[in-house]
């Protein structure tokens, strides 16, 4: 890990005013799901506008290939070998294993910098009353799903506003009345109105298009039903549909899976458009930074069909893979009159770079060691942009996976703690972005170098043990 103190000192004068910062995080949105990146079926005019007026990061990566560790990486500025939450570990009766309240988070940094902080959407890093709840991690207001398991459902019986459970009278796990993402969007826009006189940091972890497939029966859905009239329905298993026998973790049946997925993605685009309109009506557009991206690659649960939509574009893999399709994320940065409109950068960066970047924008110093590097020089097109020696990921399911990107080389290690012997793979992304040709046997020295980086990047975590010896020690 590196200290960002000297870097932030050099950059804090680059932005004398404190611009508002909005981080929009879609859930399971694939690299190929957006119009400006080649999506043929789904319309995303507002997100396309962000790209046209802002900067596209072609080599940007999520924190992980599933939800909770990806968010933990963003919040702490650390990759999954260092960040405290490294998997989707459940606690009962509701919530995920809590992040420690002692850790540095981006919300704490922005609050220290004088920002009002709010998070609206899906949390998944600690239940209400635990050390991981939003208030303990620096957010002054939270509205949405605390538990990411409950966020499987778009018509929940309740949401959370800070530490208060908000019952939704239109929903009772059998009746579907209130579409939760719309309710969350209303609170998001209210937050902008209420804080138009103050610098604010707004985290928007939007739930869509994560399975289940569900969208309101409105003009968006009508448009896509007409586009896909002869669909094969998705039929869910026992307990997945709303009703007296419903199990919360499941995904409902859907007679129009393609139309619904497309409508969910376009609904994200509508939310983005509403945020832009709200900024304009409050005179905030010229002094607001928006970052838009996704928490990991496209999913295949609940009837979703990423192959049909070409959701991973030219990349291999999906959610839960450490191939590019699982961790390469579409990222747009928008900042009128600061960022060159319509620009693209191949600066290699990741979720853990957002904390130091936002700190630099807000003029705040960071003295603790983190993995992230501010990319503010890239945004402004000035100064010397510091670069990563490498990026690292680890994934604690499916036998254990590790990956490293160093320059154009990508190393992947499978079955880290599984029953099979570890598999080593090496790809040259400059020639093979689809990771189709394993070059490990032809480049043993490079493979060993990347393997050594994997080993040195992982630190032991008493909750999320990884290597075989760690797991064996944890069970004694």
Structural domains in the chain? 2-388 (3.40.720.10), 392-475 (3.30.1120.10)
CA distance 23 to 243: 35
pLDDT tens-digit map of 120-174: 999 999 999 999 999 999 999 999 999 999 999 999 999 999 999 999 999 999 9
What pLDDT score does 383 carry? 81
pLDDT of residue 445: 98
User: For residue 4, what pLDDT is reported?
Assistant: 46
Model confidence at 238: pLDDT above 80: yes
pLDDT score of 398 more than 90: yes
The pLDDT confidence band at residue 240, using thresholds 50, 70 and 90, is very high
79 contacts 350 by C-beta, under 8 angstroms:
yes
pLDDT, averaged across the chain: 95
Res 1: pLDDT: 63
**Listed residue (106, 93, 103) closest to 201, CA to CA:** 106
Q: Where are the alpha helices (DSSP H) in 156-256?
A: 180-194, 219-227
* Per-residue pLDDT at 476: 62
Q: 36-84, pLDDT tens digit by residue?
A: 999 999 999 999 999 999 999 999 999 999 999 999 999 999 999 999 9
Asked if pLDDT for residue 10 goes beyond 60, the answer is no
pLDDT of residue 418: 86
**What's the pLDDT score for residue 367?**
86
Residue 336: pLDDT over 90: yes
**Contact by Cβ (8 Å): 60, 29:** no
Residue 143 pLDDT: 98
Strands 288-294 and 200-205: unpaired
For residues 79 and 63, is the Cβ–Cβ distance under 8 A?
yes
Determine the Cα–Cα distance for residues 345 and 294; give it in Å rounded to an integer: 18
Give the confidence band of 470 by pLDDT, cuts at 50, 70, 90. Answer: confident
Q: Has residue 99 got a pLDDT over 50?
A: yes
What's phi and psi for 471, nearest 5 deg? -65, -40
Q: How confident is the model at residue 475 (pLDDT cuts 50, 70, 90)?
A: low
Does residue 417 carry a pLDDT above 50?
Answer: yes
- The Cβ of residue 307 has, within 10 Å, a number of other Cβ atoms equal to 11
Q: How far apart are CA 252 and CA 174, in angstroms?
A: 12
Rounded to two decimals, the pTM is 0.96
- CB distance 101 to 136 below 8 Å: yes
* The pLDDT of residue 472 is above 90: no
All residues at 6 or more sequence positions from 194 whose CB lies less than 8 Å from its CB, including other chains: none
Per mean pLDDT, which range of 12-16, 355-359, 389-393, 446-450 is the poorest? 12-16
Could you please report the per-residue DSSP string of 127-139?
A: -TTSTTSGGGGT-
| Mean local confidence (pLDDT), 300-321 | 97
Percent of the chain with pLDDT over 70: 96
């Amino acid at each position: 890990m590196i200290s960002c103190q000297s870097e932030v000192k050099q950059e804090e004068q680059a932005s004398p005013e404190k611009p508002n910062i909005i981080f929009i995080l879609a859930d399971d949105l694939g690299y190929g799901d957006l119009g400006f990146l080649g999506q043929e079926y789904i319309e995303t005019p507002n997100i396309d506008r962000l790209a046209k007026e802002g900067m596209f990061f072609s080599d940007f990566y999520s924190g992980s290939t599933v939800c909770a560790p990806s968010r933990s990486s963003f919040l702490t500025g650390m990759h999954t070998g260092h960040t405290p939450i490294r998997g989707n570990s459940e606690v009962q009766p509701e919530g995920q294993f809590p992040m420690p309240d002692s850790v540095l988070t981006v919300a704490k940094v922005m609050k220290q910098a004088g920002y009002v902080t709010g998070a609206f959407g899906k949390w998944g890093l600690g239940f209400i009353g635990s050390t991981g709840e939003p208030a303990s991690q620096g957010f002054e207001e939270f509205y949405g799903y605390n538990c990411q398991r409950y966020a499987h459902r778009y018509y929940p019986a309740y949401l959370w506003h800070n530490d208060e459970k908000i019952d939704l009278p239109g929903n009772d796990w059998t009746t579907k009345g209130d579409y939760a993402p719309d309710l969350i969007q209303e609170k998001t826009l209210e937050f902008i109105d209420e804080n138009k006189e103050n610098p604010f940091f707004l985290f928007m972890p939007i739930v869509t298009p994560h399975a289940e497939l569900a969208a309101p029966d409105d003009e968006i859905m009508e448009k896509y039903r007409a586009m896909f009239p002869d669909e094969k329905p998705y039929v869910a298993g026992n307990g997945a549909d709303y009703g007296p026998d419903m199990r919360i973790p499941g995904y409902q049946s859907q007679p129009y899976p393609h139309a619904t997925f497309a409508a969910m993605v376009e609904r994200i685009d509508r939310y983005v458009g509403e945020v832009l309109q709200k900024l304009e009506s409050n005179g905030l557009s010229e002094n607001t930074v928006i970052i838009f991206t996704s928490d990991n690659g496209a999913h295949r649960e609940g009837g979703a069909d990423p192959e049909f939509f070409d959701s991973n574009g030219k990349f291999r893999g999906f959610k839960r893979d450490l191939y590019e399709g699982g961790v390469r994320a579409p990222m747009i940065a928008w900042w009128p009159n600061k960022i060159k409109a319509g620009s693209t950068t191949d600066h290699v960066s990741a979720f853990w770079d957002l904390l130091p970047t936002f700190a630099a924008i807000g003029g705040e110093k960071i003295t603790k060691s983190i993995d992230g590097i501010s990319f503010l020089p890239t945004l402004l097109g000035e100064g010397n942009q510091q670069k990563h020696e490498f990026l690292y990921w680890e994934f604690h399911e499916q036998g254990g996976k590790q990956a490293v990107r160093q320059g154009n080389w990508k190393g992947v290690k499978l079955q880290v703690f599984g029953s099979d012997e570890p598999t080593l793979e090496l790809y040259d992304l400059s020639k093979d972005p689809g990771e189709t040709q394993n070059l490990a046997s032809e480049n043993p020295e490079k493979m060993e170098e990347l393997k050594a980086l994997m080993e040195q990047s992982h630190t032991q975590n008493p909750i999320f043990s990884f290597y075989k010896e760690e797991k064996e020690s944890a069970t004694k």
